[in-house]
Amino acid sequence: MSKRKYGLALSLVLAAGTLLGACGTDKDKDKDSSSSKGGNESDFSVAMVTDVGGIDDKSFNQSAWEGIKKFGEDNKLSEGDGGYAYLQSKGEADYIPNLNALVRRDFNLVFGVGFMMEDAIGTIAGQQEDKLFAIIDGEVDQPNVANILFKEQEGAFLAGVAAALMTESDKIGFVGGVDIPVIERFEAGFVAGVAAVNPDIKVDVKYTGAFDKAELGKAEAGRMYSSGVDIIFHAAGGTGNGVFSEAKERKQADKNANVWVIGVDSDQYDEGQVGDDNITLTSMLKRVDNAVQDISKLAQEGKFPGGETKVYGLHDDGVALADSRGAIPEDVMKQIDEYAKQIADGEIEVPEFR
Amino acid sequence: MSNRVVNLLVPIISIILGLLVGAIVMLFSGYDPVSGYIALWNGIFGDSYAIGETIRQISPYILAGLAVAFAFRSGLFNIGVEGQLMVGWFTAVYVGAAFELPMIIHLPITLLAAALAGALWGLVPGILKATLKVHEVIVTIMMNYVALHVVNALIKTVSGGSYKTDKIQPTASLRSDFLSNLTDYSTLHYGIFVALAMVAVMWFLLEKTKTGFELKAVGFNENASQYAGMNVKKNIILSMVISGAFAGLAGAMEGLGTFGSMTTQGGFTGIGFDGIAVALLGANTPLGVIFGASLFGSLKYGANNMPNAANIPLEIVSIVVALIIFFVASGYIIRVGLQRLNKKKEAK
């Protein structure tokens, strides 16, 4: 027995030795390659940390990532160190480690996507004073942080006008993600837009409390459609995908079902395709991609707006309505355009708060 | 092969098997498993920052694991750790923000409050189980939902309609500049010492006190304990209360250490549920829980580096991590396999 024991112990040691040895050499190699890469690269590199939605949320994070990719392509950067990259957060606890990871990889400018990242950006920017950061939808008072805000209420107002002009049941729904100031701007603008057309229309406002729970969005949309709502505007990121799937299921079951969804952030037309029909009325675009490119370019040229807040609104194409591809008839479109003009000219002041 | 060798071999083989199957998954999805595992390794031990963050991640897992393990030892299945943790988190943040006291009083009171809140959340299923024989699994699961939505509502009320509570006073914070600087600005905080202290507390309670003996006896056999003159009802309630207190402290780790505040939660944090696995991996012993929590915490945190350094998508990473844990948890199969092998050899 004891012989066997020794044999086993020996083979164990051997196995451990090879394993650890392998680790050691690989690690060294890794280090070498990364340092040589860092030395040659002189281009301006950008990266972003997503909120819990991820870069395929068909919405806000995706839009930001498209902006980063576009900037990368325009400058002939490649994805990875010294080019452009993203990291996804699974939860709040990941914000700081993810931001730190990107800073450590020496990206020149790191974007935090989303209001929820305010604290994390504030902390990291305080520690890494020689690095540049930008936060979307949030405000951090640090000289090395650029703040990007949108006048969501202006775009949402137009979405509200469109919904009010198109509804047949005079019942409209709003599905929000987490009840935070950003989403409140969507809600306030949307409700004001509806009221501007017809103050008697009831808007059913509901918050699901999450940006990444499609099942909650689906349940909420199901309840709304069953209660007679025919158009739902969602401002809920990934949760809003559930609103689309509920509407599509209803359309599939009954081709004449009068259900519509107004998408958010990106043009969500593709989300609404059901066979030959499409249940996307329009989408309220929030051009996070443009803003991301704008700030990246400024930073590249050495004109980084650190410590400043840039607000993108209707008049500088920060927000807009997407092409409805015929879902909204010409004459209605004209009315919406009129409202748009009045907002851009400052004749209509859209409320920011509910 | 002696028992000792088998005991040593089982975890090693299971981890290797887990890594192997994980590698196959990565290979088939078109990613490089070697660079993936190097990224994982560096994500856990790569530099002082990674080590700091890993330890930070381990602290709540230890406490959540203790909570589950403690209830297990007296024959109770506490699935409510998640809810007790949330209640503890909120209470810690509330007490930490609302009062202004010197640190030496404030911090202990805040921790105590969090433990009490968790204990209270454990008390309800404890009483229902002891007096009405309502199964604790059902009650604790339901209490999780109650906790989630009550806490969300409370956050809103306390903060005056916002989605987030105030930051805690520095006097209630577990954050430490010393530990943070030591680990290159990681969010490492003193919570790990609280967690380790609680491991000692659980060990002492279970192994060295009469109460602990009774709790374990009830876990082995309720009827025998009753016959021996123990108060079974009291022990069931006590077990749930202590378990809840551990869970509440796990919440305090998040509230006083990692975040310093609490935001409305869209769903469960997952720490409480992972605590079940941590406890089972650790065979429900205090020391085993440290091992289970270290494995869980390291994998959970280190895995974040796989998308970062090796470009492997988060979804694949989650599968790989789950596989490793799965194989570690199924150590029993490997043990049986080893024994069979052994018998065959002896027969020859």
Q: What is the DSSP string of A180-206?
A: SHHHHHHHHHHHHHHHHH-TTPEEEEE
ipTM exceeding cut-off 0.85 for this assembly: no
Q: Is the dihedral of CA A162, A163, A164, A169 positive or negative?
A: positive
Is the CB of residue B198 less than 8 Å from the CB of residue B66? yes
- Determine, yes or no, domain membership for A349: no
Question: Does A264 lie in the same domain as A169?
Answer: yes
Task: Give B22-55 pLDDT, tens digit per residue.
Answer: 999 999 999 999 999 999 999 999 989 999 999 9
Stretch B108-116: mean pLDDT, rounded?
97
In chain B, DSSP finds a helix count (H) and a strand count (E) of 16, 0
Q: Would you state the pLDDT for residue A39?
A: 37
Cα of A285 to nearest chain B Cα, Å: 25
Please list the residues that pair with A232 across neighbouring strands. Answer: A173, A261
A125 and A167 housed in the same domain? no
Q: How far apart are CA A131 and CA A108, in angstroms?
A: 7
Indicate whether A8 belongs to any domain: no
Residue A83, in any domain of the structure: yes
- Would you state the pLDDT for residue A211? 87
Contact B147, B81 (CB under 8 A): no
User: What is the average per-residue pLDDT within B264-273?
Assistant: 88
Q: Residue B315 carries which DSSP code? A: H
Least confident piece of the model among A14-23, A98-107, A291-300, B29-38: A14-23
Output b/e per residue, B196-233; b: 16+ Cβ within 10 A.
eebbebbbebbeeeeebebbbbbbeebeebeeeebebb
The verdict on residue A76 lying in a domain is yes
pLDDT computed for residue A6 by the predictor: 55
Inter-chain CB proximity B53 and A26 less than 8 Å: no
Rounded to an integer, the average pLDDT of A4-16 is 52
**pLDDT tens-digit readout, B64-101:** 999 999 999 999 999 999 999 999 999 999 999 999 99
- Cα–Cα distance, B232 to B238 (Å, whole number): 10
pTM above 0.90, yes or no: no
Q: What DSSP letter does each residue of B54-117 carry, written as one string?
A: HHHHHHHHHHHHHHHHHHHHTT---TTHHHHHHHHHHHHHHHHHH----HHHHHHHHHHHHHHH
pLDDT confidence of A5, banded at 50, 70, 90? low
* Mean pLDDT, residues A214-224: 94
Question: Chain A contacts of B61, Cβ < 8 Å?
Answer: none
Q: Does the pLDDT value for residue A305 go beyond 90?
A: yes
> Could you tell me the two tokens for B239?
């077990």
E strand or H helix at A72, and its extent?
helix A60-74
Task: Domain count for chain A, please give it.
Answer: 2
Residue A136 has pLDDT above 70, yes or no: yes
Rounded mean pLDDT of A286-307?
93
Assess B259–A contact: CB distance below 8 Å, yes or no. yes
* A146: closest CA of chain B, how far (Å): 22
The answer to whether residues A238 and A180 belong to one domain is yes
**DSSP, res B161:** S
Domain that holds residue A112: 46-150+290-300+305-312
Place of tokens 């202290």: B197
A232-267 per-position pLDDT tens digit: 999 998 899 999 999 999 999 999 999 999 999 989
DSSP-derived secondary structure for B215-263: HHHHHH-HHHHHHTT--HHHHHHHHHHHHHHHHHHHHHIIIIIIISS-B
Closest chain A residue to the Cα of B50, Cα to Cα? A97
Q: Are residues A179 and A271 in the same domain?
A: yes
**A33 part of a folded domain:** no
Q: What is the dihedral of CA A101, A102, A104, A105, to 10 degrees?
A: 120
Q: Specify whether A139 is located in the same domain as A212.
A: no
Look at A5 and B5 and tell me if their CB atoms are within 8 Å: yes
8 A C-beta contact, residue B74 and residue B220: no
A141 and A157 in a common domain: no
**Residue A74, pLDDT score:** 92
Mutate to test the interface with A, among B9, B163, B183 (most CBs of A within 10 A): B163
Domain check: are A165 and A146 in the same one? Answer: no
C-alpha of A322 from chain center:
16
Residue A32 falls inside a structural domain:
no
Residue to test with chain A: of B185, B261, B263, B300, most A Cβ within 10 A: B185
The domain ranges of chain B are 60-290
CB contact A56 to B (< 8 Å): no
Q: Are residues A169 and A59 in the same domain?
A: no
Q: Which among A295, A300, A266 has a CA at the least distance from the CA of A280? A: A266
Inside any domain, residue A351: no
Give the minimum alpha-carbon distance from A244 to chain B in angstroms, rounded to a whole number.
20
Q: Assess whether A161 and A184 both reside in one domain.
A: yes
Out of B38, B156, B305, whose CB is closest to A26?
B38
Tens-place pLDDT, residues A192-207: 999 999 999 999 999 9
Specify whether the CB–CB gap between B60 and B247 falls below 8 A: no
pLDDT of residue B282 exceeding 90, the answer is no
Same domain, A126 and A167: no
| Residue pLDDT, tens place only, A223-238 | 999 999 999 999 998 8
- The pLDDT assigned to B266 comes to 78
Q: What is the mean pLDDT of chain B?
A: 91
* Cα separation, A326 vs A328, whole angstroms: 5
3-class secondary-structure state, position A84? strand
**CB distance A90–B314 less than 8 Å?**
yes
Residue A252 and residue A276 in one domain: yes
Query: Which residues does chain B have within 8 Å of residue A96's beta carbon, measured at their own beta carbons?
Result: 187
CATH at A77:
3.40.50.2300
Mean pLDDT value across residues B200-208: 95
A187 falls within a domain: yes
- Percent of chain B having pLDDT more than 70? 99
Nearest to B264 among A88, A209, A213 (CB): A209
Contacts (Cβ under 8 Å, ≥6 apart) of B240: B71, B76, B78, B122, B123, B125, B126, B129, B136
Give, in order, the Cα–Cα distances in Å from B125 to each of B223, B240, B273.
20, 8, 17
Tell me the pLDDT tens digit for each residue of A310-337. Answer: 999 998 889 999 998 889 999 999 999 9
Amino acid type, A268: Q
Q: Rounded CA gap, A98 and B308, in Å?
A: 8
Same domain, A266 and A204: yes
Instruction: Output the pLDDT for position A11.
Output: 54
Given pLDDT bands bounded at 50, 70 and 90, which one contains residue A30?
A: very low
Question: What three-state secondary structure class fits B270?
Answer: coil
CB A280 within 8 A of CB A269: yes
CA separation for the pair B184, B176 (Å, rounded): 12
